[in-house]
Amino acid sequence: MKGKIFLLLFCITAISYSVWSQSHPLLLLSKSDVVQLKKGINEYPLLKDTYRDAKTEVDFALTQPIAVPMPKDMPGGYTHEQHKNNFMVLQKAGVVYQLSGEVKYAQWIRDVLFAYAELFPTFSRHPSTKSYAPGKFFYQSLNDANWLVYVSQAYDCIYDWLPVADRNRLNTKLFRPMADFLSVETPQFFNRIHNHSTWGNAAVGMIGLVMNDTVLVNRALYGLPNEVASDIIKDNDGGSINLPGSKAKGFIAQIDHSFSPDGYYTEGPYYQRYAMYPFLVFSEGLSRNRPDLKIFEYRKAVLVNSVYALVNLTNSKGEFFPINDSQKGMSYLAREVVPAVDVAYHYGKQDPTLLSIAKEQGRVSLDITGLSVAKGISKNLEKPFVKRSIQLKDGANGDEGAIGVLRSKQSKEELTLVMKYTKHGMGHGHFDKLSFLMYKYGQEIFQDYGAARWVNIEQKEGGVYLKENNTWAKQTIAHNTVVVNQTTQFKGNVQSADEHHPAPYLFETSDSHYQVMSAVDSTAYPGSILQRSLFLVEAGDEPFVVDLFKITSNKKNDYDLPFYFQGDVLSTNFSYKTKNILKPMGSQFGYQHLWEEASGGASPESSSFTWFQNESFQTITSATIQGDSLLFCRVGANDPSFNLRRAPLFLIRRKNIQNTIFANVYEVHGHYSRVHEIASNTKSKIKNVKVIYDTDEFTAVEVNRVDGTSCVVAMALKNADAKAAHEVKSLNLQWTGATTVQERNSVSIKNKIDEK
């Protein structure tokens, strides 16, 4: 029966296209746009430079033999990179043809497309079996969708120039079969909520618009019928797949379920960056050809808002926070973010702060959105995009966790804290609830490992995710969060992790000298409730961080709290012994990849560790207790191919205890000039950290400085009324609201705060 349904659907759709009565181009350009762009190239330098660079690249391609090789390679290999280069140059060639009017560009596009039309029917799928959905020209259907998203734009630009016979040839031999291949022939790729499917939906929809094929457009918008979608195979790529009968499918569902109302993308900023291109270029085409959808107004303009969310999820250098599966160092200079910023500016509120991002990117889209941006920049309308502290909620309704970012308000060199209390992130998520990252002016102080993958480097497993991505990078111990009983959250089960999320408890940034974010998780470890509260305190010359990680459990457990630092160990106030023989720290849940290099016991008062990184000094001061073990470890065990970075970590281990709290203070202090060989403020300003009150309702920590001053950080926990007035008589503490930071024995510091 399924085969008959598939055949019937294919037969109906195969004859559904007709000669488009509307003139082309119609996706990202129109004839009137072309006129404006030609004029704009002569008036606006950024547009002129972008066009010049595109034309130079296309002109070079025209001097080379057309190469459309039989697919065989993984990412980084010749055939993969050739087909990838082809689709990128084809897209640019289409625009260059429209703006120059030179027929040679249209002829070249036609000849390359004819070559693809001849190749397409000669084989079934790519020979690689490493993807859950092998493609045609590439090892995975995702890259074929990339190809069609870009190539549909090139085809659109020469559509009216082509004779009808040539169009019919390409429609029947290449584009319609490719659209069916990506959808009805590969439903496990097309019919789910995932960045892969966003590309697939956009590809089918965009070529449908070009060919005036309403069946393809509707298929893209609303997904495959359930009878076809039920032929789903198991996804070995780690992504979520819609079950048969699910209503969540197609491009509209992608917008509904991938983004929160705040614009946060559930797979994280790295994949949001990647998915923004199909989301926005298809939406541009829909805004022109399906204005009834009001796509840029949909869900209160969530697509435009998502661009702001994406830019806000970057450090001071513009690099995306590398949570979940991420390649570190990726920034908003990426090619996919250029059109995202342009679209948000043009279809949004012409926000001049976006122009500053576009100016930094140094190029624009060669369409009407890029024209708007180039015009604004030429008129010096740009204003700085100021990234402030922000909480972005997760989930389609904004009620499934969040991500919090605190940024210092007063420090010259911005201190940034990131805490992840979002949903899992589907197949690209990591088991790292309540983990955190810390930056000082764009430099990682406590880092997230990111993904175990060498993107597009063929020597490393063809550039795809390594097995160590599952055995190490996704495991809880690979992140800066508590591990219970040396076991990964949810025991590494993606389905269970997807069904639960932490609860945001507090996000407060209104106070003049401290900010705080707090969240609670009760599902990652059954029987244990974890609450983490991070305070960014700006009192005195340099800000510092107070981290309260409280654990309440129904039984005794072992707890590990790792810190992934970078740099060289300088000093500790505790003794330790190095290991002469290195052994893996465990056999599973990521511990098999860790060497224990040294171990020591906690200091009686509190324990501190200082290291040097680049030109500054960092210190952790911990309220350790008797019996705590302090370990220096390193990534790299059971890694015969050297796939993992040899990242160091400092680990606090607390064993056989039921309820506990980890209280830590983090500082970045001083400076060292390698040129002048002069060091300043090399030592911590924190004398000790003490937990002075801890119940089910309240926690209070005292931070004592070496200058004799101190501050008390008090928190009304989830069991207390967070909005009420609170008093801890034994500490002479009174405050209203969930939390307070109070200076003591410090008139000078109080005056500094008041003055600011």
Task: Give tens-digit pLDDT for 339-368.
Answer: 999 999 999 999 999 999 999 999 999 999
Rounded CA gap, 572 and 574, in Å?
A: 5
* pLDDT greater than 50 at residue 651: yes
Identify the pLDDT of residue 637.
98
Instruction: Pick the more confident residue, 540 or 136.
Output: 136
* pLDDT greater than 60 at residue 751: no
Mean pLDDT, residues 3-17:
37
pLDDT range class, residue 227, cuts 50, 70, 90: low
The β-bridge partners of 542 are none
Q: Do the domains at 65-231 and 259-387 have one common CATH topology? A: yes
Q: What's the pLDDT tens digit per position in 74-91?
A: 999 999 999 999 999 999
* pLDDT greater than 50 at residue 3: no
Fold of 65-231: Glycosyltransferase (1.50.10)
Helix orientation angle between 337-347 and 269-289, rounded to the nearest 10 degrees: 50
Task: Show the CA angle centred on residue 432, arms to residues 236 and 195, nearest 5°.
Answer: 40
Is 19 in a helix, a strand, or coil?
Answer: coil
Fold of 259-387: Glycosyltransferase (1.50.10)
- The strand pair at 607-613 and 402-407 is best described as unpaired
Is 106 in a helix, a strand, or coil?
Answer: helix
* pLDDT greater than 80 at residue 420: yes
* pLDDT greater than 50 at residue 19: no
Residue 427 contacts by C-beta under 8 Å, 6 or more apart in sequence?
A: 194, 235, 237, 238, 239, 240, 494
The β-bridge partners of 578 are 598
Identify the pLDDT of residue 622.
97
In terms of pTM, does the model score above 0.75?
yes
How far lies 462's CA from each of 137, 279, 466, in Å?
15, 27, 9
pLDDT range class, residue 21, cuts 50, 70, 90: very low
Q: List the helix and strand counts (H, then E) for the chain.
A: 21, 27
pLDDT range class, residue 242, cuts 50, 70, 90: very low
Mean pLDDT, residues 374-391:
97
Q: What's the pLDDT tens digit per position in 208-226?
A: 999 999 999 999 999 998 7
Identify the pLDDT of residue 414.
86
The domain segmentation of the chain, as residue ranges, is: 65-231, 259-387, 390-755
Q: What's the pLDDT tens digit per position in 272-310?
A: 999 999 999 999 999 999 999 999 999 999 999 999 999
Helix, strand, coil shares of the chain as percentages rounded to 5?
Answer: 35, 25, 40
Across 117-131, 266-280, 705-719, least confident range: 705-719
Mean pLDDT, residues 147-168:
98
- Let me know: does 462 contact 72? Beta carbons within 8 Å: no
Bond preceding residue 25 cis, omega within 30 of 0: yes
Mean pLDDT, residues 691-716:
93
Rounded CA gap, 242 and 219, in Å?
A: 16
* pLDDT greater than 60 at residue 747: no
Identify the pLDDT of residue 241.
42
pLDDT range class, residue 235, cuts 50, 70, 90: very low
559 closest CA partner among 653, 666, 421: 653
Identify the pLDDT of residue 243.
39
Identify the pLDDT of residue 247.
61
* pLDDT greater than 60 at residue 229: no
Q: Alpha helices of 600-652 — where are they, by DSSP H?
A: none
Identify the pLDDT of residue 225.
84
Rounded CA gap, 517 and 504, in Å?
A: 8
Is 456 in a helix, a strand, or coil?
Answer: coil
Rounded CA gap, 140 and 142, in Å?
A: 5
> Out of 24, 428, 479, 593, which one is annotated catalytic?
428
Mean pLDDT, residues 519-525:
97
Residue 706: Cβ-neighbour burial (10 angstroms; 0-12, 13-18, 19+): exposed
Q: What's the pLDDT tens digit per position in 437-467?
A: 999 988 999 999 999 999 988 899 888 899 9
How far lies 630's CA from each of 273, 418, 659, 680, in Å?
38, 25, 19, 28
Q: What's the pLDDT tens digit per position in 538-573?
A: 977 789 999 999 999 999 999 999 999 999 999 999
22 closest CA partner among 154, 212, 176: 212
* pLDDT greater than 70 at residue 753: no
Q: What's the pLDDT tens digit per position in 469-499?
A: 999 999 999 999 999 999 999 999 999 999 9
Six-digit token pair at 425?
């992130």
- Let me know: does 337 contact 274? Beta carbons within 8 Å: no
Identify the pLDDT of residue 723.
82
> Is 271 marked active-site?
yes
Is 515 in a helix, a strand, or coil?
Answer: strand
Give the HSE-up count for residue 242: Cα atoms under 13 Å, Cβ half-sphere.
29
Q: What's the pLDDT tens digit per position in 670-689?
A: 999 999 999 999 999 999 99
* pLDDT greater than 50 at residue 630: yes
Six-digit token pair at 209?
């618009």
Instruction: Pick the more confident residue, 294 or 727.
Output: 294
Identify the pLDDT of residue 228.
58
Is 492 in a helix, a strand, or coil?
Answer: helix
Mean pLDDT, residues 162-168:
97
> Out of 17, 271, 505, 666, which one is annotated catalytic?
271
Mean pLDDT, residues 2-19:
37
Mean pLDDT, residues 7-17:
37
- Mean of per-residue pLDDT scores for the chain: 91
Six-digit token pair at 227?
């009878």
What CATH code is assigned to 390-755?
Answer: 2.70.98.70
Mean pLDDT, residues 234-253:
58
